[in-house]
Structure 1
């Protein structure tokens, strides 16, 4: 066995450990994001509160995450991403434990505000670690597995928490989720040697011209701002399909609940597994913009016929499958586009800033699509979702074009 072979195996082993640990943290983060909504009825019955008050708690969680995610990114760049990530997991676990023990609704609200603070660390820390600690040839695949882990967390959370809450109570369900965060934090502390070290020091070692970790100017550059808009539009696509897809299909063509649910489920499942295919594809091309453009166009255009034609079940599910597949394929290339415009030493703050677009889109899109449903125009929900996907195409073109222009 040659030294080159040994080095390659060591590098692969280290990469897989980094990807696995960061993916575990992302999996937990998506469980924490959805911890409250599945148990709304249980919490509402115990505290005698309205759904509006419960919605306000969720809103506070998202507002805190949106406001503080970019500062968390600066903290990641300035210090150790591993330390920040472990701190976020521990704070998240403590917050859910506090919520589980809350004797009054106000304390539960404060606990979820703290959970929102914990949520700010995941994207900046995860992307800084994957960008800095994974071999360049595997970064796109690392991004795809990272996204897939989050999708799986989203997929299993509602049913799991409802089952636990039904059998043992919502407080036990929260404690079980808190325990999972402790396990993830312990795994990173015990097996996370490849994650150790300060991000700024690694960036300087890689590039002596790396900007200061405290420099805000990179966030005001045109490509970074456009990527923030890109993430907002993608978040709006998710809101349109996941939050309003079922009710829109029912109201538009009188689709049965089972058919509408099946169509959206197929969309979501194919999106999750297509992320892995997207990682494989992104590892074999440098034209991540072309992957994104083709995927956005196919995903958006596949939805248009659904809004105007009363399709049979096979065609409806088939078009939703096509849209979901291409929506998943673009995700790793989306992250590679952001990575390409990020200077060394700035992964935490740039990814923290652009992924705030998820929160902004999550705040703006729901009332807009909700208004469309209340106005009796469910077709506009589907068309609006498609247009958000298509509108991202010029954003990507301008972003990549501005990056290629000489300074």
Structure 2
């Protein structure tokens, strides 16, 4: 992190460190909160007397609400300021979980999912608006990579933390404690004096500058790119274990080791991708190269039965490459965002993630119900190839627009 924070003036370096640390912690909370409800499904099933379909419906509600509110939240970020919206999201998500813990019912669960969806829509527009405005230009890719890594880490440690909370205070106590983390982090960011960002911070002469449209062809292509990226890895992340067991004869232990290797390598790849993103302006080509290689690896997994250690090695490399492109993906959005509209730009394209989150469980669940586990990886290859093509087209459009 020291290389990311290096700056000519000590005061600026300290401010950059404080900003990057605070925003990364907020992103950690967002991914942690994403997994709190799924980790507590066994408890909620018993306490609420419902089935997994009803519990899954709550997650669908979350995804739909988050998807519908990403773009409007981006407007709020640019209009009212990213800092206020980010703090509000942390508090809202925290209170949603705490209230569910205090009043357990299925209606409360659905209401909690709605509020968590609203809270989740805050993080990408607000986080990226603040980072884009306050990080050093030459180290922007690495700043984005640290921010993304913090989110991955939040998801990685969520099962252990929630399990510890359950052991101490039961399921309801785990909900309350998990929610309290969001509120406490909001207070921490206030104490850290996290800076603001947004179009409301007018610079001299900005009033006379012509307004630019936010919904541009480039951002629409990037929204599709984000959806394809989500679909490319969602099948492996969510259905990889059952696919490997059902179609490749892998044991439960071996399949879990392979998936853990994939997810862990993704987090490491994000950090490596930050350095690469700062050393090139051809972010679309970098993303295409990594996902092209990734497609070849996943195609090998889809079409052959590999020995356990070879499978784990292939999944590790595939995960690493999928992580490498994340900072370049974010740089593509930042470069395509009109001046003063970073919040709206990231809000719009992040909708693609939510669309992928809505479609992927249905698609890959249908594939498994059709007893075609190889196509969990095969469909991922198709989405990866489409991602390669769209990455190149997106960069070509951006370069044509700047000529």
Give the TM-score taking structure 2 as reference length. Answer: 0.94
The offset of 1:108, in angstroms, is 2.7
Give the 3-state SS of the residue equivalent to 1:344 in structure 2: coil
Following superposition of structure 1 onto structure 2, how do residues 105-254 of structure 1 map, counting pairs within 5 Å? 105-193=106-194, 195-196=195-196, 199-202=198-201, 204=203, 212=211, 217-219=213-215, 221-254=216-249
Q: Which of residues 335, 343, 355 is equivalent to 2:350?
A: 355
Give the 3-state SS of the residue equivalent to 1:32 in structure 2: helix
Contact in 2 for aligned 1:210/1:345 (Cα 8 Å):
no
Alpha carbons of 1:403 and 1:305: their partners in 2 closer, same or farther (altered >3 Å)? Answer: same
How many corresponding residue pairs? 397
Q: Partner of 2:80 in structure 1? A: 79
Which one is further off, 378-387 or 70-79?
378-387
CA distance in 2, matches of 1:206, 1:390: 45
Q: Partner of 1:91 in structure 2? A: 92
Q: Partner of 2:287 in structure 1? A: 292
Q: Partner of 1:373 in structure 2? A: 368
Which one is further off, 157-166 or 105-114?
157-166
Q: Partner of 2:62 in structure 1? A: 61
Alpha carbons of 1:81 and 1:252: their partners in 2 closer, same or farther (altered >3 Å)? Answer: same
The offset of 1:162, in angstroms, is 2.8
CA distance in 2, matches of 1:385, 1:343: 32
Contact in 1 for aligned 2:78/2:200 (Cα 8 Å):
no
Give the 3-state SS of the residue equivalent to 2:250 in structure 1: coil
**Alpha-carbon displacement from aligned partner over 1:205-232 (angstroms, at most 9, x marks no partner):** 59677664xx7x321x211111001100
Segments of 5+ residues of structure 2 without an aligned counterpart are 1-5
CA distance in 1, matches of 2:394, 2:207: 26
2:313 is the alignment partner of 1:318:
yes
The offset of 1:10, in angstroms, is 2.1
Q: Partner of 2:255 in structure 1? A: 260
The offset of 1:332, in angstroms, is 0.3
Q: Partner of 2:326 in structure 1? A: 331
Alpha carbons of 1:47 and 1:78: their partners in 2 closer, same or farther (altered >3 Å)? Answer: same
CA distance in 1, matches of 2:383, 2:246: 21
Contact in 1 for aligned 2:142/2:274 (Cα 8 Å):
yes
Give the 3-state SS of the residue equivalent to 2:199 in structure 1: helix
Contact in 1 for aligned 2:236/2:380 (Cα 8 Å):
yes
Give the 3-state SS of the residue equivalent to 2:337 in structure 1: coil
CA distance in 2, matches of 1:319, 1:177: 35
Alpha carbons of 1:261 and 1:210: their partners in 2 closer, same or farther (altered >3 Å)? Answer: farther
CA distance in 2, matches of 1:30, 1:91: 15
The offset of 1:396, in angstroms, is 1.1
Segments of 5+ residues of structure 1 without an aligned counterpart are none
The offset of 1:166, in angstroms, is 4.1
The offset of 1:163, in angstroms, is 3.5
Q: Partner of 1:343 in structure 2? A: 338
CA distance in 2, matches of 1:234, 1:250: 24
